[in-house]
Every structure is written in C-alpha cells, then in structure tokens.
C-alpha cells in the first residue's frame, strides 16, 4: 500500500505541474496553499450527508493560479482518514465497521462572488474533478487489522456480476466557503468540500450477503467472520441467509473535507489595486466586511 501511495503522489505532482507550468510566465499570479481540518464520509455505515461524528484530522497542500480577479484554478493534494461503525447508528445489530486512509489529488475551478481585491470577505464556490485512493480495513475480534477487499465480503470475484472493486476512483469535488483577504499577498479561508464518488465500496458495504458456506470455501472462515459481525454482540443473530440485504446499492458513498485554508502569493510583486495601506494590510474599497459602498 505504501508503494501505491507514493505512486499516487508522484502522479498527482506530475499532473499539477504539467497543467500549471505553461502559465509560469505570469508567476505573480501563483499562490501556494495549505489546509488543516477534518475528513469524514457518508454511506451505508453513516447515513447522514454531513456530520462531524467520527471525523478525523485532515490536511492538504496546493498550488493556485489566479486566472482573473474572481476566478482561480486550484490543484491540491489532500490526505485524511475516514471511518464509521454500526454501533453509532440504527443498524447496530449488523455490527459492521471500517476505517481507511484517504489520499486525493483534485483540480478545481473557484469562483469568488465578491471581488477579493474590493472586499475583505468574499464567499466563493468551487467545482472540479479528483482522483483518490482508499483501502478499507476492519479489526477482527482479536484486534488484528483485516484488508476488507481481500475477503470478498459480498462475493466479489466469485459471484456472477460482482467484480472486485478498485481502490483508486474518480470523484467530483464541489462546495464553497468564505475567504478573508488579509493583504494582496495572503488570504485566510473557511470551507466545506463534498466529494461525489462513483463507488459504493468505500466502506466495503453495498448489496446483499452471500451464502455463508460458499464464502467460507472461497475465502475462508475469516471472511465469514468479518462479513457479518452481529453474532459478536450480546443476543446477536447468526449469519443471515444468502440474499439478505447488507447495504443499499442505490446510494453511492460520499466523503468530504472541511477546515481552514491559508494562501500566500509566491512572488511578493503581486497585483496592487490600491486596497492595501502602507503596512500591506487590506483596506477594502467597498467595506471591510464585504458590504457594498453606496
């Protein structure tokens, strides 16, 4: 897995520089960014579209190009962790859980509703495309980590129509936030970014249970033990019959990042629009709090 992550990071950096290097003639329009916040997911083990329950620390680094005063192109590498467990939800009798590290490269377009050179605070929205790596694990009853895709918990690879799922997928990032222009060279932001994915297996749960005996023959008793955990809780039921619903295949998984971002212009000789004072502090021409001047 470490080798795959290194390959992903190398690929992401190559894509980012291939896209942005032709713009290097306008180097004063480049910003670097960092973000710190939280990552989380929504799916069969956590049905709420957005919640901070079971969230984990996340971070990222990026490079931005200022196409116009109100439009930016943003390439970013983000990383975090996601997890969920049935014991915190309504399906506690199923008793499933998972956790996964998450690595993502995204390319987004950002649009500022108010011109950051005219207003101290501006809301913005973004939309783009991303590629991400994940690998769902669960700890067995002895506390040993188990890589869930290897156990084919829903018959992937030996049930007709159920193919092994890929651990590298595409997603559509979108969201928005608020950005405070500290000076013409630096900006501080608060954002929330959702990722619409095209897989239902981030949590390794999607369709129905497969036959217990067949699963044991194909993948061993350990696969049966990790595919259904309800028998591990007091008064828990035994392994369900084949075809019993395990997840909701009609609803794909989501994940999201939220937090604070800081951006700084790479070259100090950035645009000056008469909106900074002698000390370089922002002095919006139309109001410090984004209020228009009448």
Pair of tokens at residue 21: 């290097």
Whether 286 and 119 have beta carbons less than 8 Å apart is answered as: yes
Q: How many CB atoms are closer than 10 A to CB 212?
A: 18
pLDDT tens, residue by residue, 209-249: 999 999 999 999 999 999 999 999 998 899 999 999 999 99
Sign of CA dihedral 105, 71, 264, 80: negative
Those residues with Cβ within 8 angstroms of residue 184's Cβ, 6 or more apart along the chain or in another chain: 117, 265, 270, 271, 272, 273, 275, 276, 280, 282
Q: Is the per-residue pLDDT at 202 higher than 90?
A: yes
- pTM for the full predicted model: 0.83
Q: How many CB atoms are closer than 10 A to CB 19?
A: 14
pLDDT tens, residue by residue, 67-100: 999 999 999 999 999 999 999 888 889 999 999 9
Q: Where are the domains positioned within the chain?
A: 2-21+32-265
Report the share of the chain in percent with pLDDT over 90: 72
DSSP 226: H
CATH 2.40.160.20 fits 2-21+32-265, yes or no: yes
Using DSSP, state whether 231 is helix, strand or coil.
Answer: helix
């Amino acid at each position: 897995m470490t080798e795959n992550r290194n390959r992903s990071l190398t690929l992401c950096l190559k894509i980012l520089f291939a896209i942005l290097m032709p713009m290097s003639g306008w180097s004063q329009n480049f910003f670097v960014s960092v973000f710190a916040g939280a990552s989380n997911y929504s799916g069969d083990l956590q049905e709420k579209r957005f919640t901070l329950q079971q969230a984990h620390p996340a971070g990222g680094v990026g490079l931005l190009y200022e196409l116009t005063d109100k439009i930016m192109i943003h390439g970013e590498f983000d990383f975090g962790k996601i997890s969920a467990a049935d014991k915190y939800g309504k399906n506690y009798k199923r008793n499933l859980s998972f956790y996964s590290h998450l690595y993502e490269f995204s390319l987004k377009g950002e649009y500022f509703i108010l011109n950051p050179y005219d207003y101290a605070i501006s809301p913005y929205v973004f939309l783009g495309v991303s590629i991400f790596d994940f690998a769902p694990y669960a700890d067995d009853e002895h506390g040993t980590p188990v890589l869930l895709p290897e156990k084919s918990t829903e018959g992937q690879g030996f049930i007709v129509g159920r193919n092994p799922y890929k651990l590298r997928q595409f997603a559509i990032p979108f969201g928005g936030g608020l950005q405070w222009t500290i000076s013409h060279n630096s900006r501080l932001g608060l954002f929330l970014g959702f990722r619409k994915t095209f897989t239902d297996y981030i949590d390794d749960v999607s369709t129905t249970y497969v036959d217990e005996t067949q699963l044991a023959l194909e993948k061993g008793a350990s696969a049966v033990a990790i595919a259904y955990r309800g028998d591990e809780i007091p008064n828990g039921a035994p392994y369900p019959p084949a075809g019993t619903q395990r997840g909701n295949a009609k609803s794909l998984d989501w994940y999201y990042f939220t937090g604070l971002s800081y951006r700084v212009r790479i070259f100090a000789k950035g645009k000056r629009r008469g909106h900074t004072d002698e000390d370089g502090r922002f002095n919006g021409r139309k109001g410090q709090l984004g209020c228009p001047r009448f």
